Chain A
């Protein structure tokens, strides 16, 4: 039960000389909601594809104790996936989609799916081509939440949705799906939206995991201090990750400096995940 749901060692993937994953290590424990966050081109989607057995790769990768390269069929019984590009065929109706998933997936619960859909504006006869982007995601979520899988992978699940659909998406996921035996892996650019939902954070940069920590650890490690110009050099000596200027004061972001020490320099606050992300990814596009 304590074995990680996903364990990667020296995970490497090369596309025609371009290294998308540069031999990286990480673990994802069970019962967590993990955010895999990185700039465009950092290797997020490649990592997800490797986990789902959609691409060949080098190194070791175990998902639910299975090798995605050779045991993909067994793996797919316990893994669900929602991609940022909606992959439901445009001609399919809600009823047909339910019939299809029931036919192919042994762990699908039709009643649960229908009960969920009853609360939406979707009707059995409605076809995907008649749906808005938000409705397609709703249908997708209904199908996926009704499968009793152990691992749910969400790749930019709320991309292009309005704020009502986005809130509803995470609301339903927390209320009706997640429990301590399930694990959810989310990639997203909308960090602020998920930061309180996450239990763990994985930052990826240039094909490597650059930060792996629980949210508690993130809160303990990173601090932001507002410093008057007179003390700025003293703050710089502690090697901040980032510095910016606000209203004539300097704001420094530190990793791993004890709070007590920083309090001598000025007002200390816990930075948001977005602040930490921007600071640690500096120079990515240069």
Chain B
């Protein structure tokens, strides 16, 4: 498999982000088994330490868990936990920036809201 990594973020974080995206998109479901460190290392041609580090981060955030002798699994509450943290991040980081931009462009929130409602109705 051919994957391109960007140079600005450590690869273990990019790998972690990939798993997070798969969780958010529902491609990985709670209770599902994850591939082993060895499989991922071979598939993506990465050092096993890099892969372990990504799994460690996901474990620390309780998104995945180790089942003794069986391997890594997606935690039961993972999607909800992610949704909560992503919502928080949106409100903290993305929304204020978006609001500034809306104001700078001279758009009003009420107008935008009405537009959105109209579009949805159609």
Residues of A within 8 A of B (CB): 33, 167, 170-172, 174-175, 178, 180, 196-199, 215, 219, 269-272
- Does the CB pair B7–A197 fall under 8 Å? no
Interface size range of chain B in the complex: 10 to 19
B2 to chain A: closest residue by CB: A167
A219 — which chain B residues lie within 8 A by C-beta?
10
Q: Which of A174, A196, A199 sits near B38, CB closer than 8 Å? A: A174
- Does the CB pair B45–A196 fall under 8 Å? yes
- Does the CB pair B45–A167 fall under 8 Å? yes
Interface-side segment among B46-54, B70-78, B99-107: B46-54
Assess whether B41 is interfacial by the CB under 8 Å rule: yes
Residues of B within 8 A of A (CB): 5, 7-8, 10-11, 38-39, 41-50
- Does the CB pair B45–A269 fall under 8 Å? no
Question: What are 15 of the A-B contact pairs (CB < 8 Å)?
Answer: A172-B42, A174-B41, A174-B42, A174-B45, A174-B48, A175-B38, A175-B41, A180-B48, A196-B44, A196-B47, A196-B50, A219-B10, A269-B7, A269-B8, A270-B8
Chain B nearest Cβ from A87, distance in angstroms? 26
Contacts A174-B38, A175-B38, A271-B7 given: A215-B45 contact, CB under 8 Å? no
- Does the CB pair A171–B48 fall under 8 Å? no
Contacts A175-B39, A219-B10 given: A196-B46 contact, CB under 8 Å? yes
- Does the CB pair B7–A196 fall under 8 Å? no
Chain B nearest Cβ from A186, distance in angstroms? 12
- Does the CB pair A198–B42 fall under 8 Å? no
- Complex: A269 Cα to B10 Cα, angstroms: 11
Which of A172, A175, A180 is most buried by chain B, counting CB atoms within 10 A of its CB? A175
Chain B nearest Cβ from A213, distance in angstroms? 14
4 new A-B pairs (CB below 8 Å) besides A196-B45, A199-B47?
A: A170-B42, A174-B48, A196-B5, A196-B47
- Complex: A197 Cα to B42 Cα, angstroms: 9
B46 to chain A: closest residue by CB: A196
B7 — which chain A residues lie within 8 A by C-beta?
269-272
